[in-house]
Amino acid sequence: MDIDETHTPNVVYAETAQHRTAWWLTAPALCLMILILLVPVVIAGILSFTDYSLGNDTFNWVGAKNYDRLFSSSTYEKMFIATFTYVVTVVPLSVGLGLGAALLINSMGRIGDIYKTIYFLPVMATLLAMAIAWEFMLHPSIGMVNRTLEMSCGTVLEFIPFLKNGCAERFPLWLGDRDYAIWVICFIGVWQGFGFNMVLYLAGLTSVHRELYHAAEMDGAKSAWEGFRLVTWPALGPTTVFVVTISCIRAFQVFDTIEAFWPQGGGPNKSTYVMMFAIFEKGIQQNLIGIGSAITVLFLVFVMFLTLIQRWLVERKVHY
């Protein structure tokens, strides 16, 4: 307080005034937070125990029936399989490639900036537009991918079984093939996401003190690998925790590509029926709010669990 201490009543007045302004300043944010973020979570929780649908005035409590269906029906089994396949594939690959690219680029000075720019392009681009571009690329007959693969026919590359089969019969349908669809989605997920991880790692790398590498050398670290183990990797610890968490959360939310490729049904044989798509299809399109809410609740549990793990890991390492 700047007010002269002798005027005690003024100080008290000023403090209550400050309290009031503080509340006025936070009130809009607080109201919106409650209304837009907290209330919907509660609503989702409540509705997941009902058979509510929009347009109906009433609803019935159905207990845990919605959750029962989630864990018993084969459709939802496919949903969990697709979601976890995607997360478990995309997260390590996009984190690993991001780290690899960051290390390579970081080691090569200014020329590396070109690669940085290129690798970051997919992060900026509208994913839906790029999904459509990929759909053309993967078109079974006129797509660039199969055309490129066809070029290898008749060359030495044909010893690779995949190419040999492709040349003998036909190359995969990619998006139309239940064995390939989910992997194509994963590939696009990695394609889009690793540049983001790369710049996070690059930012992390700039904060590594150069003298630490010299210290490691003086201490007897002879190879680049030993320097990485002793200095780089530990220094990137917090970055890695963050990158893995945010990659997980983003991976859980995959939707655009799947909706663009298969507006109905979640891919061949529901092989790409991920949770966000399920929420969209059940809750919005089919107006089955109860089951949609149940998926929403599960989704929130996964995501919150991940973030809490992240926070715990960061806090544990806070004394750096």
Partner 1 sequence: MADLQIDHVTKTFGDTQVLKGISLDIADGEFVSLVGPSGCGKSTLLRIIAGLESQSSGAIRIQGQDVSGVRAADRNLSMVFQSYALYPHLTVAENISVPLKMRQLSSLQRLPVIGAFMPGAHEKNAEIAASVKHAAQTLEIDRLLNRKPGQLSGGQRQRVALGRALVREPAAFLLDEPLSNLDAKLRVQTRTEIAELHRRLGATFVYVTHDQVEAMTMSSRIAVMMGGEILQCDVPDEVYNNPLDIRVAEFIGSPKINILPVEASNGGLRFGDVVLPTVAPKMLKGPIRIGLRPEGLRLAAEDAVLTGQVMHVENLGSEIFAQINLPGHDGRITMRASPAQRNSLHIGANIGLAFEGRAALLFDPNGKRVFNPQVDPVQSEVA
Partner 2 sequence: MTRDLWKHLILIFGALIVIAPFYMMISYSFKSPGEIDRGEGGFFGRQEMMVDERCVKLRDPDRDDVATAAPRFPNQTDRQIRDALVAEAVADCQMRPIVFNYTKAFTEAPLLRYLLNGVIVTASIFLIQIVVALPAAYALAKLKFWGREAVFSIVLFCLLIPVHAIALPLYIMLAKVGLTNTYAALVVPWTISVFGIFLMRQFFMTVPDDLIDAARMDGMGELAIVWRVMLPTAIPALLAFAIFSVVAHWNDYFWPRIVVTGNRDLFTPPLGLREFKGDGDGSFFGPMMATATVIVTPLIVAFLVAQRRFIEGITLSGMK
Per CB under 8 A, residues contacting partner 1 are 209, 211-212, 214-222, 226, 230-231, 234-235, 237, 317, 319-320
| Closer to partner 1 by Cβ: residue 148 or 207 | 207
**Apex 93 CA angle, 222 and 106, nearest 5:** 45
Among partner 1, partner 2, none, what does residue 7 contact (CB within 5–8 Å per kind)?
Answer: none
Site membership for partner 2, residue 273 (CB under 8 A): no
**Smallest distance from the beta carbon of 313 to partner 1, in angstroms?**
13
Among 30, 88, 151, 160, binds partner 2 (CB under 8 A): 30
Site membership for partner 2, residue 215 (CB under 8 A): no
Q: Under a CB-based contact definition with an 8 Å cutoff, are residues 280 and 28 in contact?
A: no
Contacts to partner 2 from residues 140-169, by CB under 8 A: 142, 144, 147
Tell me the CA distances in angstroms from 82 to 70, 86, 208, 289, one per residue in order: 14, 6, 38, 22
Among partner 2, partner 1, none, what does residue 239 contact (CB within 5–8 Å per kind)?
Answer: partner 2
Among partner 1, partner 2, none, what does residue 220 contact (CB within 5–8 Å per kind)?
Answer: partner 1
Q: How many residues bind partner 2 (CB under 8 A)?
A: 89
Q: Tell which residue, 197, 174, 198, has the closest CA to residue 186.
A: 174
Among partner 2, partner 1, none, what does residue 127 contact (CB within 5–8 Å per kind)?
Answer: partner 2
Helices marked H in the chain — which ranges?
Answer: 8-32, 39-47, 65-72, 74-106, 112-124, 127-137, 144-151, 161-168, 181-206, 210-218, 224-227, 233-235, 237-252, 256-261, 275-278, 289-316
